[in-house]
Each structure stands twice: as C-alpha cells, then as structure tokens.
Amino acid sequence: MTPMLSRLDRLGLLFVAACLLGAVIVPALTLLPSPGSAFFMPPYVVALLGKYMCFAILAVALDLVWGYCGILSLGHGAFFALGGYAMGMYLMRQIGARGVYANPLLPDFMVFLNWKELPVAWWGFGHFAYAGLMIVLVPGLLALCFGWFAFRSRVTGVYLSIITQAMTYALKLAFFRNDFGFGGNNGLTDFKDIFGFNVQADATRAALFSASLLTLALAYLVSKRIVDSKYGKALVAIRDAESRVRFLGYRVENYKLFVFVVSAVMAGIAGALYVPQVGIINPSEFDPGNSIEAVIWVAVGGRGTLVGAALGAVIVNFAKTYFTGALPDFWLFALGLLFVLVTLFLPKGVLGLALAPRRAKPAAVEGAKS
C-alpha cells in the first residue's frame, strides 16, 4: 500500500470519528446552552448544516460511480428527488385533518384540484415502514431499469451522461403536471409532524441533523467496503480500461449495474433526510443543473476519494450560501469559474492537494543543516 493510500485510509477513519462526534456535540450545543450563551448554536444553523450533510451523502454516492467506475452520471439529482418525494408523501399523510381544508384523507392540493379519492400511488404512505421501503425501492428500481438497458447496450462516456440528464429532465416535466398527483409546480410542503414530533421543533431539527451525519458515516463505510474489496478493484479496472476487462471475461455490465443501483439508493436516502429539514420538495429538485452541481462538488473535493467528495459538497454549498447573499448576481459565474480552475490546476481536488506526497529536500540543504 502506498503512503498516499494509507494516509487516505487514516483520513477516512478520522472522518467517521468526526461524524460520530458531531452527531452528539452539535445537537447538545443547540439544546443544552441558553440562547444567550457563547456555546449556543442557533437551530437555523443546525438545519443548514443538516442540509449540507444530505448533500455530502449525495456526493459520496456520485463519487462511488464516477470516481471508482467512471460512470459520469448527470442524473443523480433524480434519485435524490425521488427519495425526497417519498418522504414528502409520508409527511403529507401525517398532516391529516390539520390541513387548510381539514380533510383527513386527502392532502390540501388534492382537495383544491377537486380530487375525489386518494390515488393508488399514495396508498400506504400513512405508514413510515412503507414510505421507508419506497425511499429505497423507487430510486433503486429506476436505476436498475435504466442501467439494465444502458449498460447492456454498452452506452458509455458522454452519451451515457446525456441520457442520464435527459432522464432527469423528463421526470422534472412529469412532476410539474398537476394531474400527475404529486403537487405540480408547488410540490409538497407545510409539513407538521415526523414520527409524532413537531418537524419545526429544535429537538427534531437536532435529531434530523444527527441522523444525516450518521447516515453520511454509514454511506462512507459502505462505499469504502465496496471499493476496497475485489469487486472494487474490478470497478477501478473497468474505469481505466473497460474493453480490456471485458475481453478478460468479466461481465462488465453487471458490475456497473450493481454499483449504479447502490449509488442511487444512497442518493434517495439523502433526499429523504433532506426534505423534513428544508420543509419542501418540488419539481425543481429534478433540475439537471442540480445534478451538474453535484459533479462539481465531487471534482472540487477530490474524485475517487469519498471523503473528498463529502468535503467538496460542504465547501461549495457553504460558499453558495455566503455568495448568494453577498453577491447573488455573480454566484453562478463563480461556480463555473471554480469548476474550470479545479479542472485545470487541481485535477485531484482539494483533498488530492492535501494528500500529495511532499517533495524530498535537496541533499545540499540537508548537509548544511547537519
């Protein structure tokens, strides 16, 4: 094992430890100190950090397929949004008679649109066990069906990226329709409870943040387990020389399909954790620009490192939060410039720069010091 890899492994352990520690410390800083204390963390900051952690999970999922298998997906925002819609449907069913129209069965937007009965697609979402199954199953099945046809047809490179983006855009157009049954342009919002707890309460926000951070650690560990196995070595070989691996007798499409489905499920779980923390899910989450932005997160942090992908998601979104407030008209230009600069000068991302081997000191300098 090279020194760089060993350093990356140690960094991964520190990353998991930081996630576990942060899942305890951050909620404690919100719930225990008084609001006037220097150690108090406002609930809105916790909600913002929780959103960042959900984006970090999405980045790790994308890095698993792009960094280690060479599948540049521009459609992972679709899996993220589908998981979010599954969670949003569960939260809408929890509102019950407390909605504007006080209908115990139908969400408010269905009453407004004169729906007479609950659509079949909404059946079962009154129970979290069913909603949790759909959070995993819907993105996973979409990835399975899409990947089955794409990988067996040997679609690769830019062509695969284009059709993943087309899939995302098609879903966006479908969810915009009011008659599609998912809230149309307005989406799903005005959530009240989750597991019987007020979704706006400080304790609930803290718990959701902890759940997001623990899920991020789990996503990293699962991804790390995959890439460190013999299966992961085959994925890297497919990334670097797919034709050669195919000629050696490996079923390349099966390797790609498995990792693509696992990555989609991770993205769906990230979307499910995201929705109760931001309080809304609408078709804008399917926007292809969101998937492209996720690629930038991975590139900035460091493709093929997992930890770097999560770091890149946090760095870019922190910058986005700041600059959209300070310089809202220039943020998109800054984001594009950032991607260009990283591609040209930091091809291994921020983490790659930190893990670069140090240059040996010249012998003359060493002799002078002695």
Structure tokens at 227: 């890439």
Nearest Cα residue to 69 out of 344, 263, 287: 263
Q: Alpha-carbon distance 174 to 172, whole Å?
A: 5
DSSP string, 277-311: HHTEE-GGGG-HHHHHHHHHHHHHH-TT-SHHHHH
Contact 79, 144 (CB under 8 A): no
Which pLDDT value is given to residue 335? 81
Contact 242, 70 (CB under 8 A): yes
Which pLDDT value is given to residue 2? 46
Alpha helices in the chain (DSSP H): 3-31, 43-69, 76-95, 108-112, 128-152, 157-176, 202-228, 230-247, 252-278, 288-301, 307-326, 331-345, 349-354, 363-369
Structure tokens at 346: 């930091």
At 199-209, the pLDDT tens digits run: 999 999 999 99
pTM as predicted = 0.93
Contact 276, 194 (CB under 8 A): yes
Residues of the chain with pLDDT below 50 are: 1-4, 364-365, 370
Q: Alpha-carbon distance 359 to 230, whole Å?
A: 32
Nearest Cα residue to 26 out of 40, 10, 36: 40
Contact 46, 234 (CB under 8 A): no
Which pLDDT value is given to residue 6? 67
Burial of 297 (0-12, 13-18, 19+ CB in 10 A): buried
Contact 295, 284 (CB under 8 A): no
Which pLDDT value is given to residue 149? 96
DSSP string, 312-347: HHHHHHHHHHHHHHH-TTTHHHHHHHHHHHHHHH-T
Q: Alpha-carbon distance 40 to 174, whole Å?
A: 44
In eight-state DSSP terms, residue 83 is: H
